[in-house]
Amino acid sequence: MMLSVKAGDLDKMGLLFERHHRALYNFFYYMTGRRESSEDMVQNVFFRMLKYRHTFSGEGEFRTWMYHLGRNVLKDFLKKNKRSVREVELTAWQENIGGGIPAHEQLEREAELKVLRQAMGRMTLEYREVIILSRFQELKYQEIARILDISEGAVKVRVHRAMNELKTIYLKAENKQESP
């Protein structure tokens, strides 16, 4: 479809937006924890898609190209905002759990999600990014490798290290919550 946009059929851009804006928004939201900024960054990515449509070759997957543009938009956002985006709103994680849960289990999950949010916020952006792309966006390692411009093996190593870092930070945060 992007090849049609590249060829001048700009009406197809609306379909691309409908299919991909939610995943892109979630990526930005999990990275920054800022709703409005995430919405702005999605718009910025689609603007760049139009502006740089001539660079899309069609040889790789569209999602890979889209996330590549998205990472550049995120980098620009982080440069402008200087301070590191550490705190991700709890609601971002709550949206991933289902309803119909007994109240006591819901409270336990909310406490766990709060600790997870804090742990994710303390991770390096590099590691947080690979966890979000692999676990939340459910991209394959091969796709992530193309997005990050590294080998698939390097992606596997980063995900492994990121999960270890998250586990370590999570357990420390969990222990702090349990101790008086």
Residues making up the chain, counted from first to last: 180
> Locate tokens 């620009």: which residue?
76
End-to-end CA distance of the chain: 57
176 Cβ partners below 8 Å, 6+ apart?
A: none
11 phi and psi, to 5 degrees?
-65, -25
Rounded Cα gap, residues 13 and 100, in angstroms: 38
> Locate tokens 């995430």: which residue?
38
CA dihedral (101, 104, 107, 112) positive or negative: negative
Cβ distance 28 to 133 under 8 Å? no
- Domains within the chain, CATH numbers bracketed: 2-81 (1.10.1740.10), 90-178 (1.10.10.10)
Tens digit of each residue's pLDDT, the chain (180 residues): 776 666 677 777 788 888 889 989 988 888 888 889 999 999 999 898 888 888 887 777 888 888 989 999 998 998 888 654 444 444 444 444 445 555 656 667 777 777 787 888 888 889 999 998 988 888 999 999 999 999 999 999 999 999 999 888 888 877 776 555
